[in-house]
Structure 1
Amino acid sequence: MLQEFGYSQYESQVYETLLAGTEPMDATSIVSHSQVPKAKVYEVLNRMIDKGLIMNTVSEKKKLYHAIPLESVIKKLTYEFEQNVEELKKKKIERSFSDDRVWSLKAHSTIFAQTEEMIHHAKTTIFMSSWSENLIPYLPLLEEKEASGIEVEILSIGAIETSLKHVHILVPIDEHDRLEKSHLIVIDEEDAVFAGIENDQWKAIKTMSQPFVKFFTDFFYHDVALARITERFHDQLVDDEVTKKLLTRLRY
């Protein structure tokens, strides 16, 4: 029960045992019902007292233990979580070195939370390319950053509605058989994340290495150029089978 919140397996077992009991229990009874080793039980009980999960008393020369009600523990955990979040928000860690490594990221939620954080910290430019459903949640923040004077340019795979000044739209056609979902953001031309889907799972790389960042910036404008060409000369391109086949095999 409590392991999900950073407590040990023994702590969780002892708490569940005490919570399930109708009366306070001594150490011997706790060992019997919780499967926590006798050699460890007092150490575990003392830690739990210090953490405010259980109460103790002495009755007839016997030390007894009782669980704090679950509702109170939930409030305690919620309060501690909120306090930790507030402390985390206050921390400011200044970058003191140039990180030219390439980092791997996994999980959709992690990748897109990282994207939001990067947008928040942008100082000069934001270049972003993604599918419309992944771009839409960021539009209010991107519009806010543009209003503050930051250059924002985006390429959306699929139609979107926004007040942003520099928006390029690629509306896929049926023949785009190699068009795969991807996500690219370059901040201040010094920090980039590129993500794609592999085996139905989002995976990404994040880097500040300048050769990679320059490559991804060029990659962004490569896709912008292709989107604009496809939009402007759509009829001529799709009427020419050779050109059409070539364009629809490109990975935007």
Structure 2
Amino acid sequence: MLQKFGYSQYESQVYEALVSSEESLDATAIVRASQVPKAKIYEVLDKLIEKGVVLNTLSGKKKFYSAVSLDVIIKKLSLEFEEDIRDLQSYKIKKVSQDDHVWTLKDEATIIATIDELIQDASHSILLSAWNTTLEHYRPLLEEKEREGISVEILTIGDLRTTLENTSTLHPMEHHEKLEPSQLVIVDEQSLLFAGIENETWKAIKTNSQPLVKVFTDFFYHDVALTYITKKYQEQLLEDETIMRLLTRLRY
């Protein structure tokens, strides 16, 4: 129950046993109800008391324990979380010189938050390629950056309603074999992040390596060019089986 919030498995088991009980329990009863080893029970109870999660009292020569209500715990965790966020917001980051390492990222939420940060920090240019459903998340920030005078160019896979001036739209063909979700952002011709799905999990690389930035910039404009060519000459291209086969194998 409480493991997601930094509590140990034993602490979670003891709290759950106490909060589920209609009456206070002594250590022996807690061992039976929680399945926590007898040798560990007093250590775990002391930690929970210190954390303000468990109450204790002395009745005769025996100690009894009771859980703080779940509603109070939820408020306690919320307050602690808000305080931790404030601490993070006030933390002063020491800027270090950028390197050319290629860093790997996992977890979709982390990747999206990192792209948000890259876009927010852009000072003169943003290139971004992604599927329309993903771009919808970035759209308000991109439009804001364009209003600030930042050059924004996007390639969207599927239609996207936006005020952005430099928008290229690819409409996938029915038999696109290699077309799959990906995200590419290049900021200020200095930083890039490329993300794709591997084994049903989002993974990404992030780097300031200039050779890679240049390669992925070419990659972006290669896709934009192919999008316009495919759109303008689609009827002629569809008639050529060799070109059609090659186009439908492109990843974009």
Shared topology, TM-score over 0.5?
A: yes
User: Matched residues in 2 for 1:59 and 1:101: separation?
Assistant: 63
Q: Which residue is 1:230 aligned to?
A: 230
Q: Which residue is 1:202 aligned to?
A: 202
Closer, same or farther: CA 37–177 of 1 in aligned 2, 3 Å:
closer
Q: Which residue is 2:57 aligned to?
A: 57
Closer, same or farther: CA 243–39 of 1 in aligned 2, 3 Å:
closer
Cα offset, 1:130, TM superposition:
0.8
Cα offset, 1:250, TM superposition:
2.2
Q: Which residue is 1:168 aligned to?
A: 168
Secondary structure of the residue aligned to 1:193 is strand
Q: Which residue is 1:79 aligned to?
A: 79
Q: Quick one: percent identity of the two aligned structures? A: 55
Cα offset, 1:59, TM superposition:
2.1
User: Comparing 186-195 with 109-118, which one deviates more in the overlay?
Assistant: 109-118
User: Matched residues in 2 for 1:173 and 1:121: separation?
Assistant: 35
Q: Which residue is 2:4 aligned to?
A: 4
Cα offset, 1:6, TM superposition:
0.9
| CA offsets 1:106-155 (integer angstroms, 9 cap, x no match) | 33333223222222222221110111111122111100011112111101
C-alpha RMSD of matched pairs (Å):
2.0
Q: Which residue is 2:192 aligned to?
A: 192
Quick one: which amino acid aligns to residue 151 of structure 1? S
Q: Which residue is 2:151 aligned to?
A: 151
Quick one: which amino acid aligns to residue 250 of structure 1? L
Quick one: which amino acid aligns to residue 152 of structure 2? V
Normalising to structure 2: TM-score of the pair?
Answer: 0.90
User: Matched residues in 2 for 1:181 and 1:17: separation?
Assistant: 45
Quick one: which amino acid aligns to residue 81 of structure 2? F
Once the two structures are superposed, the pairs formed by residues 171-182 of structure 1 within 5 Å of their partners are 171-182=171-182
User: Matched residues in 1 for 2:230 and 2:197: separation?
Assistant: 25
User: Comparing 204-213 with 242-251, which one deviates more in the overlay?
Assistant: 242-251
Q: Which residue is 1:245 aligned to?
A: 245
Q: Which residue is 1:142 aligned to?
A: 142
Question: Unaligned stretches of 5+ in structure 2?
Answer: none
Q: Which residue is 1:105 aligned to?
A: 105
User: Matched residues in 2 for 1:103 and 1:237: separation?
Assistant: 39
Q: Which residue is 1:14 aligned to?
A: 14
Closer, same or farther: CA 148–35 of 1 in aligned 2, 3 Å:
same
| CA offsets 1:144-167 (integer angstroms, 9 cap, x no match) | 011112111101111212111111
Cα offset, 1:238, TM superposition:
2.8
